[in-house]
Amino acid sequence: MDKIKVIGKQILSGKIYISGSKNSVVSLLPAAILSDETIIEKVPHISDVDNLEEILRYLGVKFSLESGTIHIDSTSMINKPITLEYSSKLRASYYFMGAMLSKFKKIEISFPGGCNIGKRSFDFHLKGFEKLGAKVIIKDNLYTIVADELKGAEINLPFPSVGATVNILLASVKALGKTVINNAASEPEIGNLIDFLNSMGAKIKGKDTSKLEIEGVDRLSGGKIKVIPDRIEAGTYILAGIMNGCNLEICDVRPDHLKSFFDVLDEMGADYKIVGDKVVTNKVSHLKPVNIVTQVYPGFATDLQQPITTLLLQCDGISTVKETIYENRFQNTKYLNEMGANIEVEGDTITVYGPTFLKGKLVRTSDLRAGAALVLAALSAEGETTITDIKHLLRGYSDLIKKLTNVGAKIWLEDE
Ligand code: EPU
């Protein structure tokens, strides 16, 4: 099942329900080992969750998933090295660094996986662990992080990194005394993690701000959380509605998590309406070109940059997108151009000449959001598109085929 086929230009109408956030659940699952028994609700059906389940089971953690709710029992967890076979399946495997350092004062893990969209170093994470009193030894891509005792510290992040904020939070919740993270990431997914840790008895203040204060506690226990709706999945389907929708309703959305995205849609003159936690979208015949710059939250999300590029193809004029977070996140443009787009890439900026009309082609998914951009392109293209290497897409879009088929798309999976 590693090919998706799409016959484009179908009208999309009906309701799409947004699943729990990928980038939340991938930190909540490693965080769960800090307590004895925890419950996580609204878990998306994505392969990143399957891969984390594999790691947890390998570590002796009991895991049960039923109707989107996971029960985790880590009372019989064992500390053993997370080998490359496990760590390389996803980026978030490195959240076991912070979690296991906190639980066992020692973790051995091989290099993490994830999308190839830039350098993606994690030096801030390692420096943060060192600030808390840990020693980091790197040998042949194996990371050993040990501490006799973790002690609270003031940590100034050079950049508000999501991953570093998560890892330092995990490592510091049980450290001796107080930790302060300055210039912390304030993405909603961090807030979801803070709520989960606090439900276990952690003492973290400053949710949704760039300064987090963590008062270490001796023990964490219990813990229950509902994963927040995936704002990137929501944005992707809102784009599908603006390109091909007739009253397409995107339901279970947190519109307050998508403010910068809506600002851009307003500037373009897109037809969408927010009704509570629902966004109703319609195709319009003319859209204005825009200039987008990706930024950390609450700025325009880098994860929506590739999907929105597909919409920019329909604008009347020249748009630009400047990517400031990753060095290599334009791999979608090659395939969009093969489908008929006119996009120039220069350094960190692309120029999109619109409007252009797409034709179905054989294209390849290079990374998760490039895959989403290609699905959107295929839905609006004339004829049949085949998308290969879809493992990237399945990592982050829960029930993609089912959700789109239900609203009238002609899209199906095929074995290679
Ligand atoms: N960076 C460093 N050193 C560090 C940490 C980060 O140089 O120690 C740099 C990275 O190289 C990158 C930038 O800082 O250029 C941003 O990195 P950040 O740590 O904020 O991102 P991340 O934690 O690796 C998460 C999401 C990404 C999302 C970004 C930004 C997860 C598992 N991943 O990545 O999601 O793009 O935050 O919002 O939460 C996706 O969903 O498609 C995705 C890539």
pLDDT (0 to 100) of residue 105: 98
* Ramachandran bin of 221, using left for φ above 0, alpha for ψ from -120 to 50, beta for the remaining angles: beta
Cα–Cα dist 360/355, whole Å? 17
Task: Please report the beta strands in 96-174, taking only residues with DSSP state E, as ranges in sequence order.
Answer: 106-110, 135-139, 142-146, 154-156
Instruction: Please confirm, yes or no, whether 251 is among the known catalytic residues.
Output: no
Show me where the domains of the chain are located.
Answer: 3-19+229-414, 22-226
Q: Is the pLDDT of residue 142 over 80?
A: yes
Up-side HSE of residue 360: CA atoms within 13 Å toward CB?
A: 15
Average pLDDT of the residues of the chain: 96
DSSP 102: H
Q: At 384, which helix (H) or strand (E)?
A: strand 384-388
- Check pocket membership of 302 for ligand 1, CB cut-off 6 A: yes
pLDDT band at 300 (very low <50, low <70, confident <90, very high): very high
365 within 8 A of 154, measured Cβ to Cβ? no
pLDDT surpasses 70 at 314: yes
Residues 45 and 133: their CA atoms lie apart, in Å, by: 37
Q: Of the ranges 65-74, 116-125, 148-157, 203-212, which one carries the lowest mean pLDDT score?
A: 116-125
* Residue 325 CB less than 6 A away from ligand 1: yes
Q: Tokens in use for 108?
A: 């051995």
Mean predicted confidence (pLDDT) in 118-124: 88
pTM comes to 0.98
Q: Find out whether 374 and 335 touch, Cβ atoms under 8 Å.
A: yes
Q: Does the pLDDT at position 1 exceed 60?
A: no
Residue 251: strand pairing partners: 17
In angstroms, rounded to a whole number, what is the distance separating the alpha carbons of residues 339 and 378?
A: 9
Q: What is the distance between the alpha carbons of residues 362 and 265, in angstroms, rounded to a whole number?
A: 29
Give the Cα separation of 112 and 156 in Å (integer). Answer: 24
Region 363-383: mean pLDDT is 97
Q: Classify domain 22-226 at the CATH superfamily level.
A: Enolpyruvate transferase domain (3.65.10.10)
Q: Is 115 in the pocket of ligand 1 (CB under 6 A)?
A: yes
**What whole-number distance in Å separates Cα of residue 221 and Cα of residue 237?**
38
User: Letter for the amino acid at 53?
Assistant: E
Class for domain 3-19+229-414, per CATH? alpha beta
Per-residue pLDDT, averaged over 164-169, amounts to 98
User: Amino acid identity of 196?
Assistant: F
Position in ligand 1 atom list of the atom nearest CA 369: 42
Task: Say which DSSP state 299 is in.
Answer: S
- Give backbone dihedrals phi and psi of 244, rounded to 5 degrees, phi first: -140, 10
How many angstroms does the Cα of residue 62 sit away from the middle of ligand 1? 29
C-alpha closest to that of 345 among 364, 367, 374, 323: 323
Would you call 234 helix, strand, or coil by DSSP?
A: helix
pLDDT band at 75; cut points 50, 70, 90: very high
49 with 227: CB under 8 angstroms? Answer: no
With cut-offs at 50, 70 and 90, classify the pLDDT of residue 62: very high
Pocket of ligand 1 contains residue 377 by CB under 6 Å:
no
For the segment 368-397, the average pLDDT, to the nearest whole number, is 96
Mean pLDDT for the stretch of residues 108-134: 91
Same fold, 3-19+229-414 and 22-226: yes
Tokens of 62: 């009991």
The residue contributing the CA closest to ligand 1 atom 2 is: 121
Judge contact between 408 and 10, C-beta under 8 A.
yes
β-strand partners of 119:
none
Report the nearest atom of ligand 1 relative to the CA of 117. 44
